[in-house]
Structure 1
Amino acid sequence: MPHGRHASDREWMRPILRLRRVTWLVPTAYLLVYRPWQRSWGATGTEVTDTLPGDEIVPRPQWEATRAVVVDARPDDVWPWLVQMGAHPRAGWYSYDWVDNAGIRSADEIRADLQGLRVGDRLPMTADASAAFVVESIDPTRSLVMSNHAVGGAVSAAFVLRPHGPRGCRLIHRIRFRVPASGLPWAVAMDAGDFVMTRRMLLGIRQRAERLGRRRRGGTEPTDDDPGTPLSYDLSVPIDLPPGRVHALLADVQDLEPFPRAAGVTMTKWPAGPTGVGTRWHERVRLAPGIWMRVESTVTAVSPPVSLDMDFWAGWCEGHLTYTIEPTPSGCRLHQRETLALRRRLPIPASWVDAGLRPRLLDRLADLRDDAQSRPV
């Protein structure tokens, strides 16, 4: 065979060899890095190894995960959201509603008709009620345990609340399951996808509980004066500070970090010095584990202590933001008016983007208020 033929064969085989290497690396990275990390996301070593309520339901699980979040609210602020969980017509799972709630948005308010949860009640996993968790035990403000038994297997899910700090708590979620050989494909899918839904659920519960906690402590929530218009926002919040101090903080908003409820935001300003027309902010926003969005903003107008305007743009959107500060007898009211336009190449509806973005903007406005009021004069 001619020497050139051998060389041609080697060239033809190189893409296949590279593909084999990648095919080997992906499952290895999943098993050795991603899988251990996601199975204990947010949880401490003690929480992972502790025996929790409901562990006895699946004593020798094939798969187990323990995840946790810190909630800036008391356990009794979190508990009402837990007992009303379940797919429509219940309050939802506070996760990706288009997956587990037929696209119906999970409740943002406490539903009095769902607060009387009892052992034995069924909590639908999806809106068609084809499968459901059954409540196994209830220890108010401490733990809620549910299970599902189907086709010879068993799944247990426990929500545990533990005090944390002067007014907060930790919300711990543990899931365990054992399935027969016929259920292994489902188990593999569970291993790969459960974290995505659970993480969103825990963050959704935290967001709602912290709002409830602020209301119970007498804090005033930011208001949404234009809730029905996607990608157009007219939000405001009272702040117990004079307008000049609030404007000065907005002019150097990068110093207000970190934002605990709108976590995953980092900002830098350029150039240093007083903020004026042309000042720019470089912002990184965490959308999901390992996924970040970069936002660039440029100041277009500054009128201390009344207003601050800027244009902003990212890979998928662009828009305009205006802060205005209205004096009040107790301080001022900060208004945030924002319009957003999606780039044409973004293949999702504006209503979906709005559903995820609006609560984050409200949380961030609350964070800004809390940070400003906590600073020494």
Structure 2
Amino acid sequence: MHKQHTYRPRPGSRLLPLAAASAALVYYARWLRPRLLTWGATPEEVAGEYPGDELVPEPDGTSTMATTLPAPPEAVWAWLVQMGYDRGGWYSWDWLDHYGHPSADRIVPEWQSIQEGQRLGAVRGGQAWFTVALLEQGRTLVLASDLKVPSGHSFDPEWDPLPQAHVDGIWGFHLRPTPDGGTRLVVRTRGAGHPRPLTRPFDLWLWEPAHFVMQTRQFHNVRTRVAADR
């Protein structure tokens, strides 16, 4: 009779998946994540202060991303002020943030008027929105959001009861002219979650990567639009 051999894992082999996962986390935290959060921005832009930063004075997380666009600030501004779900869209991955409806590919005069305090719908149905927090024509547009967790629905901190779990944040667009007639567009985000142990993992593993994917796509699509207008 043949003796059956029982498989016995090598000593330490069960630790290999854990070691690989730990190495991946270290790689993401130390190398990849900082690059995602500062994509395209110079060290000076990352370290700089921007209007709207004071609206989230003690953020849990922040990002500063930038790109150079082949049009002057006033031309770029015309596209940015059209943003909104029920306006020009977000110029990003429309199938993700605009229910598949294409973002605007032209300047629409009736969408050029915008003012502080105005709400811009973020999703279909009006359950989430951005509020125009700061506005400096042709230079600065800061959108603020206050979201319940985990629903992702907006609330008004001036009128609604404060949810037990929520995230306050800003999404700021800062336009500066370049010597060759273009625009340096710097996008700054800052967010603070409450309670932090609940909201921070969500930020790290979902919101930050998602923001990178959506923001870089927006840069690309805005660049395509302003270039076509020249």
Task: Indicate whether the TM-score tops 0.5.
Answer: yes
Match of 2:200 in 1: 184
Distance 1:101 1:86 in 2: 9
- Does structure 2 conserve the Cα–Cα contact (< 8 Å) formed by 1:100 and 1:127? no
Structure 2: runs of 5 or more not aligned: 148-162
- Does structure 2 conserve the Cα–Cα contact (< 8 Å) formed by 1:69 and 1:203? no
Aligned partner of 1:17 among 15, 18, 26: 15
Tell me, yes or no, if structure 1 residue 206 matches structure 2 residue 223: yes
Report the identity percentage: 33
Aligned partner of 1:147 among 138, 144, 154: 144
Match of 2:77 in 1: 79
Match of 2:151 in 1: none
- Does structure 1 conserve the Cα–Cα contact (< 8 Å) formed by 2:36 and 2:209? no
1:185 positional shift: 4.7
Aligned partner of 1:170 among 184, 198, 203: 184
Per-residue CA deviation, residues 61-104 of structure 1 (Å, 9 max, x unaligned), is 000000000111111110011101011x2111101111110110
1:135 positional shift: 0.1
Per-residue CA deviation, residues 135-170 of structure 1 (Å, 9 max, x unaligned), is 011111111011012344310111000111221110
Secondary structure, aligned partner of 1:126: coil
Alignment of 1:24-103 (within 5 A): 24-87=22-85, 89-103=86-100
Aligned positions, number = 207
1:21 positional shift: 2.3
- Does structure 2 conserve the Cα–Cα contact (< 8 Å) formed by 1:64 and 1:177? yes
The letter of the residue matching 2:168 is: A
- Does structure 1 conserve the Cα–Cα contact (< 8 Å) formed by 2:78 and 2:107? yes
Match of 2:213 in 1: 196
Distance 2:226 2:103 in 1: 14
1:25 positional shift: 1.5
Structure number with the higher strand fraction is 1
1:202 positional shift: 1.6
The letter of the residue matching 2:203 is: A
Distance 1:122 1:183 in 2: 24
Distance 2:33 2:71 in 1: 30
Distance 1:42 1:138 in 2: 24
1:199 positional shift: 1.0
Q: Structure 1 pair 192/166, CA: closer, same or farther in 2 (3 Å)?
A: closer
Per-residue CA deviation, residues 226-245 of structure 1 (Å, 9 max, x unaligned), is xxxxxxxxxxxxxxxxxxxx
Which gives a bigger RCO, structure 1 or 2 (Cα 8 Å, sep 6+)?
A: 2
Match of 2:153 in 1: none
- Does structure 2 conserve the Cα–Cα contact (< 8 Å) formed by 1:86 and 1:123? yes
Distance 2:200 2:124 in 1: 24
Alignment of 1:246-261 (within 5 A): none
1:13 positional shift: 6.2
Distance 2:182 2:38 in 1: 21
Distance 1:104 1:66 in 2: 28
Distance 2:224 2:11 in 1: 54
- Does structure 1 conserve the Cα–Cα contact (< 8 Å) formed by 2:142 and 2:173? yes
- Does structure 2 conserve the Cα–Cα contact (< 8 Å) formed by 1:77 and 1:210? no
- Does structure 1 conserve the Cα–Cα contact (< 8 Å) formed by 2:60 and 2:200? no
Alignment of 1:97-176 (within 5 A): 97-150=94-147, 151=163, 152-176=166-190
- Does structure 2 conserve the Cα–Cα contact (< 8 Å) formed by 1:163 and 1:169? yes
The letter of the residue matching 2:8 is: D
Structure 1: runs of 5 or more not aligned: 215-377
Consecutive aligned runs of 4 or more in structure 1 exceeding 4 Å deviation: none
Secondary structure, aligned partner of 2:9: helix
Q: What RMSD, in angstroms, separates the aligned Cα atoms of the two structures? A: 1.9
